[in-house]
Amino acid sequence: MFFITGIIIAALFLVSTSLPFLSWILPFYKIKKLENANLKTKIITNIVAVLAIGWIDTKFLITYLGVFVSIEVLYYIFKKYGTKVKEFDKIFITTLIVSILISIYVYFNRIGFNLGFEQLKDIYIQKTSFTKYEVDNAFKFIKDNFTYLIFVYISMTVFLTYYFLNKEKFLEWDVSYFWLIPYISIFFIDKYTSLGGSLTENILNILKLIYIMYFIKIATGILNGKVKKQSICFVVGVLLTLISPDLAFIFGGLASGIRIKVVR
């Protein structure tokens, strides 16, 4: 069991890192498979997974341990000690912690990342039909919004992990309106002072994420009251959010302080 599960984890790691929209599969599988296992089983299985991933490329271990194991550990911590913490708050706090860890790592290895970034840009210029101007603009956007893009990736991973682990209780999930306080404060700083810039803009976009995710739950609940097919309603809620994330944030933020009762 140890060996097979460890190899499956290593394989799912490759899938999760190769296809970002499937990044939730690894933490979902690990938690679902090992949640009720004893400590010995968890340790040995993770050792097998680490050896398999390290055999492929030792550099992958930083991502495995820093991202996926961190998400798993924080899930268990919240399950044991965070029973009073609202579900969307757990998701957002986990996203904050993991994303900050990634940002710190990137900062201390920024020289290597910058070199790799430039090399990747050169490859795109040489091997694709995009013009140098288009590639430069695309990579400038990524560089300017790198922190925010990390948060988007991690929040999607954590949100979908929690959803597929506990989707039967999804419509009961709640969120705190507390996160609106730093959002409003930074919004005024960004708009009316000289301190505004790409950093404050990124922070604002990051703080929006929790209410954008909450909107998915609100939309799913409203649609499910009519259709009675939660999985379909969830997909529609996600699509509505992707179509207009700003409107999703507004409705999600308002709903965090207002109990919406669906009339059936």
In angstroms, the Cα distances linking 226 to 73, 121, 221, 241, 262 are: 37, 49, 9, 19, 9
Q: And the tokens for 12?
A: 């799912």
Helix and strand numbers, DSSP H then E, in the chain: 13, 0
Say what the pLDDT of residue 164 is.
Answer: 94
Confidence grade of residue 25 (pLDDT, cut at 50, 70, 90): very high
Tell me: pLDDT of 7 over 70.
yes
Tell me: pLDDT of 89 over 90.
yes
The 10s digit of each residue's pLDDT in 149-203 is: 899 999 999 999 999 999 899 999 999 888 988 888 888 888 777 776 777 888 8
The torsion angles phi and psi of 26, rounded to 5 degrees, stand at -65, -55
Confidence grade of residue 132 (pLDDT, cut at 50, 70, 90): confident
Among 60-69, 125-134, 170-179, which stretch is predicted with the lowest mean pLDDT? 125-134
Say what the pLDDT of residue 260 is.
Answer: 47
Q: Count Cβ atoms within 10 A of the Cβ of residue 250 and give its class: 0-12 exposed, 13-18 middle, 19 or more buried.
A: middle
The answer to whether the CB of 77 falls within 8 A of the CB of 37 is: no
The 10s digit of each residue's pLDDT in 232-250 is: 999 999 999 999 999 999 9
Say what the pLDDT of residue 193 is.
Answer: 78
Phi/psi region, residue 196 (left: phi>0; alpha: psi -120 to 50; beta: rest), is beta
The torsion angles phi and psi of 35, rounded to 5 degrees, stand at -55, -40
Say what the pLDDT of residue 93 is.
Answer: 95
Average pLDDT, the chain: 86
The answer to whether the CB of 163 falls within 8 A of the CB of 33 is: no
Q: Cα torsion for 54, 56, 58, 59, to the nearest 10°? A: -130
| pTM for this entry | 0.89
Calculate mean pLDDT across residues 71-80. Answer: 93
Among 69-73, 126-130, 245-249, which stretch is predicted with the lowest mean pLDDT? 126-130
